[in-house]
Amino acid sequence: MHNSWLFIGIFILVAGVFPALPIILFHIFGPKRQTPEKLETYECGMETVGQTWVQFKVQYYIYALIFLVFDVEIIFLYPWAVAFDKLPLLGVAAGVLFIFLLADGLWYAWQKGALEWS
Amino acid sequence: MTPDQILFIVTALISTLAAVMVVSRRNMVHAALFLVLTLFGVAVAFVLLEAPFLAVVQVLVYIGAIAILMIFAVMLTRNVTDDSGDPFNKNARVGGLAALFVFSLLVVMFGGWSQFTAYPQAGDTSGSIVQLGVALTAADGYVIAFEVASMLLLGALVGAIFVVWPRQNENE
Amino acid sequence: MTDPLALLGDWLLNLLAQLNLPPGLRQVILYLLGVSVIATVALVITIFNTWLERKIAARIQDRLGPNRVGPWGLLQPIADAIKMLTKEDTTPAAADKVAYNIAPILAVVSVLLIWAVIPFTSQWFGTQLNVAVLYIAAVGSFGVLAVLMAGWSSNNKYALLGAFRAVSQLISYEVPLFLSLLIPVLLARSMDISVIVEKQATLLEMYVVAAPLAALLFFISSVAEVGRTPFDLLEAESEIVAGYHIEYSGFKFGMFQAGEFMHTFTIAALTALLFLGGWQGPGVAQAPILGLFYFMGKSFAVYFVTMWMRSTLPRIRIDHMQALNWKILVPIALTLLMLTPIVDYFTKDLGVLFSAFGGALTLSWRFAALLLTNILVTLAAIEAVRRNAKRNFVERSRFPERPVARPPREEAA
């Protein structure tokens, strides 16, 4: 068990080096003739007006919230699925009820209109 | 020192430093990104403790969902580039002292706890997820807690939508 | 038949043993070599795929595609890489330097890490994790982080808008993705990908037979997760220019692109592993190396479908994208997930429905019942969507007529 995680750890390091290497090489060998105009924010050639931060839709946040709840719930189901062979009927029913409650939340969000992209 | 111990010390140092950065950065997004580093350090600690399931859940839930939600919230609600306020107020010193006191209390308490120095047995943990799954839904296990957790999350979802939704209608 | 890679491994082990290194260090060096091999394989496949994709897209659109550099234009990706090197490395003055430079690396890392748990044959794999499926899901969250970092650190309105769009799409489609990932886990009673593949030993034991709908859900939400056509709203040129990587140039931009290409092939490989039996095929028990060809064949077949989709389908609208996810994919996945365990529980001990060709075609009652469940859910879903569409159509036609621009009237002139 430990060994496979050592492998993953080394993989993380190597996976970082693989894309970093061409970027560093590119940084060293790539042409650099930078002018203030070139380093300006690119917004289709227009001068940037105001700040980058603008009012965003609250819709984005609602989707993120619903996602968070689903994410946490789905995590519980994975050990349940792995242990499926050892579960009594009650255990299976408990898991199905769990999923049903999850579906219930989605249904509420739907009825409330939180899923509409307006 | 064993390689495991060195790895643990490095991880612990990185996560602690990142945690300090979380509370001391002025830029909120930077703070959130350092929080991600801290959470990842905790995941590595779980791996070292032979708890791979918890490590993966840590990354999935905390980095994949909660940290993303936090960054979202920061970006949605406030102008980050303009966010130059001092993160410390006049109670900073008192807070620091309180933190130091709690920390020394923890050191004293855990210093005398025999389990604290015991290192987890390296071994086959593949059965633990099955045990977890069985225990979660067993009648003499945690089935009530399992369903209550589901109800709580349902409540959280309903509450979140209820709180966020009417405001948008007012804006329209 | 001897395994050439195993021979190579033994030879390396002997070589390392002669160096008198401590066993821990030897292990690390061996892993380092293995990791480099896997990462290189992933990158080489990705480079090859950029050529393949252009060639096939060209054929679908009645063009020739790359045909100048090397035989059949095979060296085109290398020419592209050299061209990219000659581009200027710019970091916008207003950008957040550190986050801006880490984001493209993180984008590739999040995809490359999946390859650590992919079994190429029964013997060749990076490593076996008993939480491999969740590991794949967890690693994907770094990709979301990379998008957010890229969009925010560029300090550009288009980039930030693109990042918000991208992230809301990515996290939304993660829900049906995780739910459909649960189905093979449930069927195999394991999160270990090697075990999931081993359980799909014969043609009718592949999980695409028992859970075709889950396979479809997984495939659709994975394509959305990669952000490819028809889900490429993250880089809708006409609305937000290039999306979150608008400020990136040269190799930094190339890394996002490489990450996307690699991710596409990775999801094809995952579909092949989880639903099409991965390296399983006739004769694998005698010669495990055959598994590599089966696995690659299946992966490229799925990959071809993504290329086909890319060159055929138009881009989906953002409200449709969210509606498709939350109102179609997630409800179907939840229904399927409620029915699958119930059917599975009552049919798991029923035995074989029919067996032909000496066991090569064996359908168990369990899989037959699951297949029937899938078909019924599909039919119900189609009916529900049709009814909903009719209702929406009626509602939409009730909208008041909007003012339309008309040419000036004659009396006004």
Domain holding B30: CATH number?
Answer: 1.20.120.1200
Name the residue with tokens 């209109």: A113
Give yes or no for residue B169 having a pLDDT over 80.
Answer: no
For the segment C187-196, the average pLDDT, to the nearest whole number, is 89
Q: pLDDT tens across C113-157, in order?
A: 999 999 888 877 878 888 889 999 999 889 889 988 888 888 777
Is B107 a domain residue?
Answer: no
User: Could you tell me which chains touch chain B, where touching means 3 or more CB pairs under 8 A?
Assistant: A, C
Distance from CA of A114 to the nearest CA of C (A): 10
Residues 83-122 of B with CB under 8 A from A: 122
Res C408 pLDDT > 80:
no
Q: Which of residues 74-93 of C touch A (CB under 8 A)?
A: 84-93
In chain C, the percentage of residues whose pLDDT exceeds 90 is 23
For C257-294, letters b (16+ CB in 10 Å) and e give: bbbbbbbbbbbbbbbbbbbbbbbbbeebeeebbbbbeb
Each domain of chain C, given as residue ranges in start order, spans: 11-78, 87-317
**CB atoms closer than 10 angstroms to residue C314:** 7
Contact C368, C355 (CB under 8 A): no
pLDDT at A1 over 60: no
> pLDDT tens digit string along A13-64?
888 888 888 888 887 877 777 777 666 666 655 666 666 566 666 777 788 8
d(CA A4, CA B125): 12
**Cα distance from A82 to chain C (closest Cα, Å)?**
4
Radius of gyration of chain C (CA): 25
Rg (CA), chain B: 21
A26 and C89 Cβ atoms separated by less than 8 Å: yes
C101 touches chain A (CB under 8 A): yes
Answer positive or negative: Cα dihedral of C332, C335, C341, C344: negative
Please judge whether A81 and C185 are an interchain contact, meaning their C-beta atoms are less than 8 angstroms apart: yes
Asked whether the beta carbons of residue A11 and residue C38 sit closer than 8 angstroms, the reply is yes
CA distances to C118, C207, C364 from C342, rounded to whole Å, are 30, 17, 16
Closest CA to C340 of C185, C199, C183: C183
Residues C351-382 pLDDT 10s: 777 777 777 777 888 888 889 999 999 999 99
- In 3D space, the residue among C183, C211, C181, C185 whose CA is nearest the CA of residue C374 turns out to be C211
CB pairs under 8 A between A and B: 149
Q: Is the pLDDT score of B135 beyond 60?
A: yes
| Alpha-carbon separation of residue B63 from B133, C44, C139 (angstroms) | 23, 30, 10
Structure-model confidence comparison of residues C410 and B30, the more confident one: B30
pLDDT digits (tens, 9 = 90+) for B93-129: 898 899 899 999 988 888 777 766 666 565 555 568 8
Across B82-112, b (16+ Cβ under 10 Å) vs e yields: ebeeeeeeeeeeeeeeeeeeeeeeeeeeeee
Q: Which residues of A touch B156 (CB under 8 A)?
A: 69
Task: Yes or no: say if A50 and C157 are a contact pair by the CB < 8 Å rule.
Answer: no
C291-300 mean pLDDT: 90
C-contacting residues in A 67-96 (Cβ below 8 Å)? 67, 70-71, 74-75, 77-78, 81-85, 87, 89, 92, 95-96
Residues of B in contact with A105 (CB under 8 A): 153-154, 157-158
- Asked if C342 and A96 touch (Cβ cutoff 8 Å), the reply is yes
Pick C155's closest partner by Cβ from B36, B67, B81: B81
Number of domains comprising chain B: 2
Choice among A104-113, B69-78, C313-322 with the minimum mean pLDDT: B69-78
ipTM of the complex: 0.87
* C215 torsion bin: left (phi>0), alpha (psi -120 to 50), beta (else): alpha
Q: Of B164, B128, C338, which is closest to residue A99 (Cα–Cα)?
A: C338
Q: What are phi and psi of C244, to 5 degrees?
A: -70, -20
Residue-wise burial string across A71-91, b where 16 or more C-beta atoms lie within 10 A, e elsewhere: bbbbbbbbbbbbbbeebeeeb
Q: Where are the alpha helices (DSSP H) in chain B?
A: 3-24, 28-48, 52-57, 68-77, 92-111, 126-137, 143-171
- Could you tell me if residue B67 is inside a domain? yes
Neighbours of chain A (3+ CB pairs under 8 A): B, C
> Nearest Cβ partner of C131 from B36, B56, B71?
B56
**C126 → closest Cβ in A11, A60, A116:** A11
The verdict on B7 and B60 lying in the same domain is yes
Residues in chain B within 8 Å Cβ distance of C134: 53, 56-57, 60
Query: What is d(CA C109, CA C102) in angstroms, rounded to the nearest whole number?
Result: 10
Q: On the CB side of C118, how many CA atoms lie within 13 Å of its CA?
A: 27
Please give the residue that has the higher pLDDT: either C181 or B172.
C181
Confidence (pTM): 0.88
Q: What secondary structure letter does DSSP report for C355?
A: E
Identify the CA nearest to B150 among candidates C158, C148, A86, A99: A99
Q: What is the pLDDT of residue C205?
A: 84
Chain B residues inside the 8 Å CB shell of C142: 63
Of C89, C185, C318, Cβ closest to residue A78 = C185
- Which amino acid is located at C212 in the chain? P
Please report, rounded to a whole number, the percentage of residues in chain C having pLDDT higher than 70: 92
Q: What is the 3-state secondary structure (H, E, C) of B102-136?
A: HHHHHHHHHHCCHHHHCCCCCCCCHHHHHHHHHHH
User: Residue B164's closest CA among B50, B95, B85, B72?
Assistant: B72
CB of C175 within 8 A of CB of C330?
A: yes
Question: Does B72 or A55 have the greater pLDDT score?
Answer: B72
Question: Using CA atoms, how far apart are residues C400 and C110, in angstroms rounded to an integer?
Answer: 48
pLDDT for position C401: 65
The answer to whether C144 contacts chain A (CB < 8 Å) is: no
Q: Quote the pLDDT of residue B124.
A: 56
| Binary contact (A6, C250; C-beta < 8 A) | no
Q: What type of residue sits at position C149?
A: M
What H or E segment, with its residue span, contains residue C246? Answer: none
What tokens were used for C355? 């067996």
Distance CA B62, CA B43 (A): 10
- pLDDT tens profile B5-61: 888 899 999 999 999 888 888 778 888 889 999 999 999 988 888 888 889 999 999
The proportion of chain B whose per-residue pLDDT surpasses 90, expressed as a percent, equals 20
Q: With contacts defined as CB-CB under 8 Å, which chain B residues touch A81? A: 133
Among A61, A66, A97, the residue with its CB nearest the CB of B73 is A61
Q: Quote the minimal CA–CA distance from C135 to chain B in Å.
A: 6
Q: What are the backbone dihedrals phi and psi of residue C229, each rounded to the nearest 5 degrees, phi first?
A: -50, 140
C87, C104, C323 member nearest A23 (Cβ): C104
pLDDT of residue B172: 43
DSSP-H helix ranges across C276-364: 290-312, 318-323, 330-347
Residue B80 domain-assigned (yes or no)? yes
Q: At the fourth CATH level, which superfamily is domain A2-112?
A: NADH:ubiquinone/plastoquinone oxidoreductase, chain 3 (1.20.58.1610)
Which residue in chain B is spatially nearest to C137 when comparing CA positions? B60
B28: containing domain: 1-84
**Coil, strand, or helix at residue C352?**
strand
Average pLDDT, rounded, for chain B: 81
How far apart are alpha carbons C293 and B17 in whole angstroms? 48
Burial class (CB in 10 A: 0-12, 13-18, 19+), A54: exposed
Q: Which residues contact B50 (CB under 8 A, 6 or more apart)?
A: A1, A2, B120, B121, B122, B123, B125
C145: left (phi over 0), alpha (psi -120 to 50) or beta: alpha
Q: Which of C50, B127, C151 is nearest to A86 (CA)?
A: B127
Compute, in degrees rounded to 10, the torsion defined by CA atoms C321, C322, C328, C331: 150
Bridge partner residues of C125 (DSSP): C119
Would you call A22 and C251 a contact, using CB atoms and an 8 Å cutoff? yes
| Inter-chain residue contact C189 with A12, CB threshold 8 Å | no
Residues B17 and B71 in one domain: yes
